[in-house]
Amino acid sequence: MKNDFLNNFKHLDKSKKEKFVSQIFSNVADNYDLMNDIMSFGLHRSWKRKMISLMKINPSSVVLDLASGSGDLASLVKKKSNCNCIIYDANTDMLKKAKKKMEDGIFIAGKAENLPFKNNIFDYVVVAFGLRNFSDMNKALIEIRRVLKKGGVLLSLEFSDINSNILKKLFYFYGKFIPKYAGLLLNKKLAYEYLIESIKQFPDQIELSRKLKKNKFNNINVIDILDGLAAIHTSEK
């Protein structure tokens, strides 16, 4: 039953996907950072620092940390420059986790597909491991572009298509191992199964670039990390 559900996850009705994802992240909120460590061997922290290092921000910049999770990106943004950074996530349990990590900030709960902001107000929108969880990625990309200023930049970090066959096989084996052992250890087996399946079903570097172009983003660049295990996409309005 579980395998059928997850295998068909990509084709779920949007409202069902939204509800399922919300339940998953409410269930893992307390262990979210540990889960990211397990999924990436702890490397997600350096990947996020790499992405934030690409930003040219100053105290007057306005940044949206979309699908913020526990607030890792927002924390890095504030350390780089004490600018205006909004922490935005659909899951209130994750926002509570972010509030514990951040000394101050503007925290807003809401959907990526219906951003409650005026047009053309953000210099940057950053999102890490979030695009694949949106119930309607194209609609979310339309909204992201709408709220970006002209010349504003979207930076996204996701697990991606691995170029090395050896590394791909290792990650495939690891993906089989994680839900069975780490998931059982933390009593979060379904959550790990979902995360692995969502990575498999997510567009690769080329396909995501096409989606960005289709949604009228320009100057699209891809930075592969560890031979494509993860990838940073940068694109401009």
For residue 27, pLDDT beyond 80: no
Rounded mean pLDDT, 21-34: 72
For residue 223, pLDDT beyond 70: yes
Rounded mean pLDDT, 79-90: 93
> Please, which residues bridge with residue 155 across strands?
126, 234
For residue 1, pLDDT beyond 60: no
**pLDDT over 90 percentage in the chain:** 55
CA atoms within 13 A on the CB side of 24: 21
Instruction: Render the burial of 50-72: b for 16+ CB within 10 Å, e for the rest.
Output: ebbeebebeeebbbbbbbbbbbb
Q: What is the mean pLDDT of the chain?
A: 85
Predicted local confidence at residue 2, as pLDDT: 45
More confident residue, 158 or 32: 158
Predicted local confidence at residue 178, as pLDDT: 64
How do residues 85-109 score in pLDDT, each as one tens digit?
999 999 998 899 899 888 788 999 9
Sheet bearing 230-236, strands edge to edge: 106-109, 84-89, 62-66, 122-128, 148-159, 230-236, 218-225
Greatest pairwise CA separation for the chain in angstroms: 51
How do residues 48-70 score in pLDDT, each as one tens digit?
999 999 999 999 999 999 999 98
Out of 2-16, 68-82, 127-141, 180-194, pick the least confident. 2-16
How do residues 171-216 score in pLDDT, each as one tens digit?
766 666 665 565 555 556 677 777 778 888 889 999 999 999 999 9
How do strand 230-236 and strand 148-159 relate by DSSP bridges? Answer: antiparallel
SS (H, E, C) the chain: CHHHHHHCHHHCCHHHHHHHHHHHHHHHHHHHHHHHHHHHCCCHHHHHHHHHHCCCCCCCCEEEEECCCCCHHHHHHHHHCCCEEEEEECCHHHHHHHHHHCCCCEEEECCCCCCCCCCCCEEEEEEECCHHHCCCHHHHHHHHHHHEEEEEEEEEEEECCCCCHHHHHHHHHHHHHHHHHHHHHCCCHHHHHHHHHHHHHCCCHHHHHHHHHHCCCEEEEEEEECCCCEEEEEEEC
Predicted local confidence at residue 10, as pLDDT: 54
For residue 148, pLDDT beyond 70: yes
Predicted local confidence at residue 4, as pLDDT: 47
Predicted local confidence at residue 29, as pLDDT: 66
Give domain 17-163+203-236's CATH architecture: 3-Layer(aba) Sandwich (3.40)
- Per domain, the residue ranges of the chain are 17-163+203-236
For residue 41, pLDDT beyond 80: no
